Amino acid sequence: MTSRFPLTRLRRLRESQALRRMSAETSVSVSDFVYPLFATHGRGVREPVEPMPGVYQMSPDQLAEESMEVSELGIPAVLLFGLPASKDAVGSEAYDPEGIVQQAIQSIKQAAPGLAVMTDVCLCEYTDHGHCGVLTGGRVDNDATLELLARTAVSHVEAGADVVAPSAMMDGQVGAIRRALDSAGRSDTPIMAYSAKYASAFFGPFRVAADSAPQFGDRRGYQMDPANARQALHEMELDLQEGADILMVKPALAYLDVMARARRRFTQPIAAYNVSGEYSMLKAAAANGWLDGDAAAMEALTAIKRAGADIVITYHAKEAARLLANGR
Ligand code: PBG
Ligand code: ZN
């Protein structure tokens, strides 16, 4: 960097839209997006999620219509969550072949065969205590949970899921799922590991959407401490050793440093989860007229890509796809 003003004028390449587009270091593409969907029992159900404007709990028939729209917008994948008919101590509906997610997968695959269906593999939506694993003596029992997560993943794949995404933050969960899938003859199914998943207040609105708030305590005994970044790399390293195909950093915006470090360290695809609270904050501010919601969403998505994400899981996917199609 030897040249000096007035020889160097960085504004030269900022003058026109064409030059800005040409010289942009990062771009956001609809091909990067994964759109989260919430499946609920019934027919014709499209229940708004209050803190997340534009997000709904939908019955399988509605998800079929939704997935056609998502697919037509060019979004390559959805990530499915489920609201069971009933909850119990061991989260039985999570691995029920007739469970809500299993039904939703079939309905989506039938309506939009080209859309990749990813499924969240966890127990918190299905347990009556709301924790991500089964309890032994009031504590989340890591090893007893592994078998149930593995069963859940296999049942999703048997229903037609293309990718499974374990999010329970149990040690060894990726390995347990990889072995179970392989034994079930599904060695070609990829695993997207929620590797660096933090115990975050930004999941608040999701817990309304998925009815998955813990009924006692919190998730700090298994999800990561927001103070840690080196440990995120350790989590990712372990998940790779256990057979993960895609690594994830979650949440996204408050953890872009973690994303950037992970990007430098690993060659594998990395996903960022632009979580519910990040979406709700932006929507709430936009609804108050306090910022331009479309511009803020595109800026946030650009920042996530700039930090190094290959894949962006975001509730903004549909609106961003439309903005991108209109040259934004
Ligand atoms: C389930 C799960 C959660 C999210 C994704 N999978 C919630 C949690 O861990 O409490 C959060 C997603 C979001 O906030 O958008 N374990
Ligand atoms: Zn969970």
Q: What is the pLDDT of residue 328?
A: 80
> pLDDT class for 1, splitting at 50, 70, 90?
low
What is the number of the ligand 1 atom nearest to the C-alpha of 274? 15
Find tokens 């990007």 and name the residue.
263
**Element spanning 284, H or E:** helix 276-287
Q: What is the pLDDT of residue 240?
A: 98
Query: How far is residue 121's CA from residue 129's CA, in Å, rounded to a whole number?
Result: 17
Comparing C-alpha atoms, which of 36, 46, 44, 40 is closest to residue 70?
Answer: 36
Q: pLDDT for 309-323, tens place per residue? A: 999 999 999 999 999
Percent of the chain with pLDDT over 90: 98
Q: How many C-beta atoms lie closer than 10 Å to residue 149's C-beta?
A: 28
Question: Is-catalytic flag, 305?
Answer: no
Q: Which ligand is closest in space to the CA of residue 313?
A: 1
Mean pLDDT of 12-29: 97
> What's the one-letter identity of residue 56?
Y
Q: Which of 250, 283, 305, 318 is catalytic?
A: 250
What's the token pair of residue 157? 């794949």
Mean pLDDT of 231-253: 98
Query: How far is residue 39's CA from residue 93's CA, in Å, rounded to a whole number?
Result: 13
Mean confidence (pLDDT) of the chain: 98
Q: What is the pLDDT of residue 50?
A: 97
Residues 6+ positions from 211 with CB-CB distance below 8 Å: 83, 125
How far apart, in Å, are the Cα atoms of 48 and each of 60, 121, 209, 210, 328? 15, 23, 9, 12, 27
Residues 6+ positions from 80 with CB-CB distance below 8 Å: 36, 37, 39, 101, 104, 105, 108, 117, 118, 119, 120, 161
SS3 for 238? helix
Q: Which ligand is closest in space to the CA of residue 211?
A: 1
Q: Greatest CA span in the chain, whole angstroms?
A: 71
Q: pLDDT for 96-136, tens place per residue? A: 999 999 999 999 999 999 999 999 999 999 999 999 999 99
Query: How far is residue 210's CA from residue 204's CA, in Å, rounded to a whole number?
Result: 10
> pLDDT class for 185, splitting at 50, 70, 90?
very high
DSSP state of 203: G
What's the token pair of residue 244? 């993960």
Q: Please, which contacts does 282-285 make with residues 24 or more away whose CB atoms are closer than 8 Å?
A: 283/52, 283/53, 283/54
Cβ 200 under 6 angstroms from ligand 1: no
Contact 212, 124 (CB under 8 A): yes
Cβ 120 under 6 angstroms from ligand 1: yes
Residues 6+ positions from 133 with CB-CB distance below 8 Å: 123, 140, 141, 142, 144, 145, 148, 149, 168, 170, 222
Residue 2 has pLDDT above 80, yes or no: no
> pLDDT class for 327, splitting at 50, 70, 90?
confident
> pLDDT class for 3, splitting at 50, 70, 90?
confident
Question: Is-catalytic flag, 109?
Answer: no
